[in-house]
Chains A and B, each alone.
Chain A
Amino acid sequence: MSAPVLADADAKPNLKSQGPAIPPPLRWNGRGGDGDGRGFSPSHGALPFPTAKLGLWLFLAAATMLFALVGSAYLVRMGLPDWEHLPKPGILWVNTLWLLLGSLALEVARRAARAREVATARGAWILGGAFALLFVVGQLLAWGRLAAWGYFLATNPASSFFYLLTALHGLHVLGGLLVWGRATVRMFRAWEPAAPLRIELAATYWHFLLGVWAAMLGLFWLT
């Protein structure tokens, strides 16, 4: 427990006491009506989890609608006579592995953060982002492979949907990475009480993207 504290760039070298050096995780009211949720407006009768978490879940609800609607359009369009089978680049399986590992890494980070194991949390956090980055690169390679085979956006409906879905999903991953980068800077500057919550939110988002990707893969392969 003590090693990560000393490794903390901001911690004073002489600081021995471990308790206050790693503040307890923020369990309530992630952000609030005063813009930061630090108790300026106590939430009465609020749902028993942080406000930021509710915000994320609502966003995920909208994103679920988005992907479900493209998916249903896919199923409808598939039933029309001009639908053609699209060969899938094998690299998609490797990419799946990256996404899975990214999700696992952030899950490890989440648990470590709750247990105040700062070094583990930070390490797993970095891995989570790196795997997601690998996934994006891999997806671009998959696009390149498809293009080399002569399948472009407008080649046939299956390729149109493939590019559309992977692009939408990839943009969500990139958006996540943007937030991840911002959080990384803060997290390595100092271990804030909100850090465990941030990690938890990121882990949720990564799991969500993994789930969406699994559903997309199923759609691609079953058709």
Chain B
Amino acid sequence: MGGTSAKHAESGLHHAHEPTSFWTKYVFSQDHKVIAIQYTVTALLVGAVGLVFSWLIRLQLGFPGSVSIVQPDSYLQFMTQHGMIMVIYLLTALLLGGFGNYLIPLMIGTRDMAFPFLNMLSYWTYFVSVILLFAAFFVAGGASGAGWTLYPPQSVLEGASPGAGWGVRLLLLSIAVFVASGTMGSLNYITTVLQLRTQGMTLMRLPLSVWGIFVGAVLALLAFPALFVGGVMLLLDSLFGTSFFIPIVNVFGQQLGREGGNPLLFQHLFWYFGHPEVYIVILPAMGLVSDILANHARKPIFGYRAMVWALLAIGGISFVVWAHHMFVSGMNPYFGFWFAAATVVIAIPSAVKTYNWLLTLWRGNLRFPTPMLFAIGFVSTFVAGGLTGLFLGNVIADVPLHDTYFVVGHFHLVMGVSAIFAILAGIYHWFPKAVGRMYNETLGKVHFWVTFVGAYLIFFPMYWMGFMGLPRRYFSFAAVETLPPSVQGLNVLMTVAALAVGAAQLLFVFNMIWSALRGKRAEGNPWGATTLEWQTPTTPPPHGNWGPELPVVHRWAYDYSLPGAPRDFVPQTEPEPQPAAAAKAAKAAKSEPQPEEGSGA
């Protein structure tokens, strides 16, 4: 009994009293909002390194030999690390760890994650994985240059690719640690969404952001083990000379001491993770974009239920399409039929989502602040990148295009640029809530237009280059005589665009830092949004989010421009009028009390 009350006291302490020391408040914090900001800032810093690598790659392609540190080996290293950093350490970490942490508890109306300690552990594990990632740059041989897919045997055989010793080992270790972090995070997000929704927040009243993050987290939970298994087995092959993946290899006439391992096995494991990974990134992005579009179009999202089912369908199908990355790998050709069919099928829910976004915009009362621009930019690049996925999903078109720039253009637009646009839209959109100040709109718009036009200038010509047969991953095209001279001209243009886009990101960083310190004070609900996070008692939301009383939800998240309502949005916390008097109440809108901002309780 004594123990029981002690437990109560301890747990009460945990929540009633906000952590006050610097360490528990800002460093080893268990508050989901602090962890979200930690994730976001770390991921953006890591992403900045990835961005610089892409500059180096582009400089070499546009102006060969202009940067002395870019040599054939280091080119491959920059390319590999750019891919790894962007896909895993930036996009995955930021969309799940950053937005997942910030939005889930606020949007479902709870005080924190289901397992706050695990949440903190998830961030710091991610932090360790980032340290390991960068440590690989400073070992003998440098970081791995085997391509972000790390295909064996070349990724682990000394001399076969740069960084095949400790470079790739540290990277594999970093990945294993990242998987541990991602598992802790995903488990937390899923549990929180299922168990901690506030009163009235049914599953079908959840904002699509929560749905997207939720399905993405389910995919992460089930797909990351494949990366872990492949990574650990590859690490053993590298460290202890096992032969899981390494086949009989002759080097300069000498047979290495390995026997019949199967490199294809690694590819299967890698892509069994790798394809769901695309959706781990893009489903949360789709969720954020859906909410931002509906809000700034002042219209309900078109086809809410279809949007939810499309997310679930994409999530499910994403587990059975992985080998479309392997049509040229030498796997059994009969596999190709199934994987091509499944790939084309996944286009259907993706198209449902795209049409619904367009129909949400259709005849909406559109306004165009920076987040809306980026959200529309997302739809644009998702279509421009996604449609070429239909080409690549078919074996017969993939075979000639697979190792060309066509693929580079495709995945950069559909999951790189699109995901970044969704992230930027999200950061601008929720910045006033997270910081309590407005960002600078002019700087934001300049940032958007340079990034948007620049992204198309960089990646759209790649389709044409791919059709011309320009091979990807090459350090230099000096020896490729079949290429028309226009390819070099385009490469110069793309490099200049890449530098401009990179510079525009500095504008974004400046805008964020300056606005956080000096920006105009933001109201609690500057966008006139319906969802719970905008109804918090103070902005930024306090520790525990809601003050003494949790919000109660009475309606879905998309009551924009409701006929007869006093304003063009009705918060989720607003009670429904009585059914019998519904028609009258709609007419006599004055009977509705007009709550001030932040009428959460």
Say yes or no for A43: interface residue by CB 8 A criterion. Answer: yes
Q: Which residues of B are interface residues toward A (Cβ below 8 A)?
A: 1-4, 6-8, 11, 14-15, 30, 105, 110-117, 183, 186-188, 190-192, 194-203, 221-226, 228-229, 232-233, 236, 240-244, 259-262, 265, 268-269, 272, 544, 550
A131 to chain B, nearest CB (A): 27
- Of the candidates B30, B187, B240, the one whose C-beta lies within 8 Å of that of A153 is B240
A189 to chain B, nearest CB (A): 6
Q: Are B192 and A33 in contact (CB under 8 A)?
A: yes
- Closest B residue by C-beta to A15: B1
B161 to chain A, nearest CB (A): 21
Q: Are A190 and B4 in contact (CB under 8 A)?
A: yes
A79 to chain B, nearest CB (A): 9
Chain A, 152-187, CB within 8 A of any chain B CB:
153-154, 156-157, 160, 164
Residues of the B chain whose Cβ atoms lie less than 8 Å from the Cβ of A10: 2-3
Q: List 17 A-B contacts (CB under 8 A).
A: A35-B117, A36-B15, A40-B111, A46-B194, A51-B114, A51-B191, A61-B221, A62-B222, A66-B229, A69-B226, A77-B244, A156-B259, A157-B242, A157-B243, A157-B244, A157-B261, A160-B236
A23 to chain B, nearest CB (A): 5
A28 to chain B, nearest CB (A): 11
Residues of the A chain whose Cβ atoms lie less than 8 Å from the Cβ of B241: 154
Q: Which residues of A are interface residues toward B (Cβ below 8 A)?
A: 10-11, 20-21, 23, 29, 31-38, 40-47, 51, 54-55, 58-59, 61-63, 65-66, 69-70, 73, 76-77, 80-82, 153-154, 156-157, 160, 164, 189-194
Known: A62-B222, A192-B7. 15 other contacts (CB 8 A): A23-B4, A35-B11, A41-B111, A44-B199, A51-B191, A55-B191, A65-B226, A69-B226, A80-B262, A153-B236, A154-B240, A154-B243, A157-B243, A157-B259, A190-B2
Residues of the B chain whose Cβ atoms lie less than 8 Å from the Cβ of A21: 1
> With A and B bound together, what is the CA distance between A94 and B10 in angstroms?
43
> With A and B bound together, what is the CA distance between A154 and B233 in angstroms?
12
Q: Are B194 and A38 in contact (CB under 8 A)?
A: no
Residues of the A chain whose Cβ atoms lie less than 8 Å from the Cβ of B114: 31-33, 37, 51, 55
- Of the candidates B196, B198, B225, the one whose C-beta lies within 8 Å of that of A66 is B225
Q: Are A20 and B1 in contact (CB under 8 A)?
A: yes
Q: Are A62 and B3 in contact (CB under 8 A)?
A: no
> With A and B bound together, what is the CA distance between A25 and B590 in angstroms?
51
The 3 A-B pairs with the shortest beta carbon distances in the complex, nearest first, are A190-B3, A36-B11, A33-B110
Residues of the A chain whose Cβ atoms lie less than 8 Å from the Cβ of B262: 76-77, 80
Q: Are A65 and B191 in contact (CB under 8 A)?
A: no
Residues of the B chain whose Cβ atoms lie less than 8 Å from the Cβ of A38: 8, 11
Main secondary structure of the interface of B (DSSP, over half): helix
Q: Are A65 and B265 in contact (CB under 8 A)?
A: no
> With A and B bound together, what is the CA distance between A43 and B236 in angstroms?
45
Residues of the B chain whose Cβ atoms lie less than 8 Å from the Cβ of A46: 194-197
> With A and B bound together, what is the CA distance between A189 and B1 in angstroms?
11
B6, B244, B261: residue with the most chain A Cβ atoms closer than 10 Å: B244
- Closest B residue by C-beta to A194: B7
- Of the candidates B225, B226, B229, B265, the one whose C-beta lies within 8 Å of that of A76 is B265
- Closest B residue by C-beta to A49: B195
- Of the candidates B15, B187, B191, B232, the one whose C-beta lies within 8 Å of that of A40 is B15
- Closest A residue by C-beta to B222: A65
Q: Are A33 and B113 in contact (CB under 8 A)?
A: yes
With A66-B225, A154-B241 known as contacts, the answer to whether A44 contacts B190 (CB < 8 A) is no
- Of the candidates A45, A160, A193, the one whose C-beta lies within 8 Å of that of B242 is A160
> With A and B bound together, what is the CA distance between A167 and B154 in angstroms?
27
With A41-B550, A58-B191, A62-B187 known as contacts, the answer to whether A192 contacts B242 (CB < 8 A) is no
B11, B200, B272: residue with the most chain A Cβ atoms closer than 10 Å: B11
A199 to chain B, nearest CB (A): 15
- Of the candidates A36, A43, A73, the one whose C-beta lies within 8 Å of that of B233 is A73
Residues of the B chain whose Cβ atoms lie less than 8 Å from the Cβ of A66: 225, 228-229
Q: Are A160 and B4 in contact (CB under 8 A)?
A: no
> With A and B bound together, what is the CA distance between A126 and B55 in angstroms?
60
A65 to chain B, nearest CB (A): 4
Q: Are B14 and A34 in contact (CB under 8 A)?
A: yes
Q: Are A44 and B8 in contact (CB under 8 A)?
A: no
B11, B196, B236, B262: residue with the most chain A Cβ atoms closer than 10 Å: B196
Q: Are B1 and A23 in contact (CB under 8 A)?
A: yes
B4, B221, B544: residue with the most chain A Cβ atoms closer than 10 Å: B4
> With A and B bound together, what is the CA distance between A160 and B245 in angstroms?
12
> With A and B bound together, what is the CA distance between A80 and B233 in angstroms?
17
With A40-B15, A66-B225 known as contacts, the answer to whether A81 contacts B2 (CB < 8 A) is no
Q: Are A154 and B242 in contact (CB under 8 A)?
A: yes
Q: Are A33 and B112 in contact (CB under 8 A)?
A: yes
Q: Are B196 and A51 in contact (CB under 8 A)?
A: yes
With A21-B1, A40-B111, A66-B228 known as contacts, the answer to whether A80 contacts B195 (CB < 8 A) is no
Q: Are B30 and A35 in contact (CB under 8 A)?
A: yes
Q: Are B244 and A55 in contact (CB under 8 A)?
A: no
> With A and B bound together, what is the CA distance between A164 and B195 in angstroms?
36
> With A and B bound together, what is the CA distance between A153 and B203 in angstroms?
49
Q: Are A43 and B222 in contact (CB under 8 A)?
A: no
Q: Are B117 and A41 in contact (CB under 8 A)?
A: no
Q: Are B244 and A44 in contact (CB under 8 A)?
A: no
> With A and B bound together, what is the CA distance between A86 and B509 in angstroms?
59
Residues of the B chain whose Cβ atoms lie less than 8 Å from the Cβ of A34: 11, 14-15, 111-112, 544
B223 to chain A, nearest CB (A): 8
Residues of the B chain whose Cβ atoms lie less than 8 Å from the Cβ of A58: 186-187, 190-191, 221
B334 to chain A, nearest CB (A): 16
Q: Are B112 and A35 in contact (CB under 8 A)?
A: yes
- Closest B residue by C-beta to A34: B15
- Closest B residue by C-beta to A84: B259
> With A and B bound together, what is the CA distance between A43 and B117 in angstroms?
19
> With A and B bound together, what is the CA distance between A82 and B550 in angstroms?
63
Residues of the B chain whose Cβ atoms lie less than 8 Å from the Cβ of A55: 114-115, 187-188, 191
Residues of the A chain whose Cβ atoms lie less than 8 Å from the Cβ of B200: 44
- Of the candidates A36, A42, A76, the one whose C-beta lies within 8 Å of that of B199 is A42
B345 to chain A, nearest CB (A): 23
